[in-house]
Amino acid sequence: MTAHSKRRIVVGTRQSALALTQTGQTVESLQSICDAAGLSYTFELKPIVTRGDRILDMTLSKVGGKGLFVKEIEQALMDREIDLAVHSMKDMPFALPVGLVIGAVPKREDPRDCLIGRTATHLDELPHGARIGTSSLRRGAQLQAARPDLSIESIRGNIDTRLRKLEEEQFDAILLAAAGLHRMGWKDRITSYLSTELCLPAVGQGALAVECRADDEEVMSLLARFNDPVTARTITAERTILGLLNGGCQVPIGAYAEVVNGEDSDLVLTGLVASPDGSRILKETASGKDPGKLGQTVAQLLLARGADMILAEARE
C-alpha cells in the first residue's frame, strides 16, 4: 500500500438514524487514521435495507432473531458492492459467512441497559403493574425477575420510534441500550442506568463490529489500526458463550466481560441464560487470561446447571 494509492472505500450500513450516526463516526475515525498515516482513501456510505428493518410488527424472536440486521449487508460485501460494513456487535451471529471477518472492534461504548421513564426515573419508583416496553427477551426476563409485578410488553422500531411510542402508547417506561442513546447525543433522555448485576447486557452490547472481506489486504491493514485490543478480548469471551450456547434472539442470553486492570490482565466474564418469563435465571462468573477458554468455561458452567433445557424449551 503506497502513500499515493487512491481508493474509494464503500461502507455499508443500515438506514436507521443510529446506524448512520455510528457508521459516520466510524468513517470519521478511519479518515483521521488515513490522514495521520498519509493514506489517501476516500469513503462513501451505502445505506442498505435489511429484513429486520422491514419487519416491524413482530418481535425479533418470532422472525428469526440474530442475523436479521446483517444478512443483506454481508451479501453486499460478498458481492463486492461494498468494502466494509459497520454493525452493532450485538446484531452479529456467531458464525460469519466464509470469506468475511470482523476486521476491527473499536473501543466500546457504555454496555449497560437503561430505563427511560415517563414519570418515574428508577426501577423501584415504577408503580405496581407498570407497563414496560422492550424488544429484548433478555431485558424482559431480568426485569421480570427483579419486579414480577411489572407488565413487560413488546416494542419494536428504531430508537427514535421507541422514544415516541413511550409517550404515544402510554408506557410507564421503556428499556434501551445506553450506547445507542450516547452515540445519538441523547444521553439526557436516560432517566437511570441498570447495573450489569441487575440486567446483564447482551453479548457485545455497546461495541461495534467492522466487517470486511478476509482477502482485502488494504482494508484489513487499515482496520488493524482501528482495532481496540481490550474491547476485542472482552468481545471474544462474550461471543464464545454465544457460539457454544448456539444463541439467537429467541432465547434470553447475556454475557459481559471486563478487564480487571490493563490490557493483558485477567478478564472477568459473567454469562446468563434465562427463561423468557424470568422464572429461571442461571448466571455464572469466572476469570482468566485467555478469552476463548474463559468463554468455554462459563458456557460449560451454565450448561452443567441446565442451560440447555431452558434453551430447548425457549426454542420450542
Q: HEC string of the chain?
A: CCCCCEEEEEEEECCCHHHHHHHHHHHHHHHHHHHHHCCEEEEEEEECCCHHHHCCCCCHHHCCCCCCCCHHHHHHHHCCCCCEEEEEHHHCCCCCCCCEEEEECCCCCCCCEEEEECCCCCHHHCCCCCEEEECCHHHHHHHHHHCCCCEEEECCCCHHHHHHHHHHCCCCEEEEEHHHHHHHCCHHHCCEEECCCCCCCCCCCCCEEEEEECCCHHHHHHHHCCCCHHHHHHHHHHHHHHHHHCCCCCCCEEEEEEECCCCCCCEEEEEEEECCCCCCEEEEEEEECCHHHHHHHHHHHHHHCCHHHHHHHHHC
Active centre residues (catalytic): 91
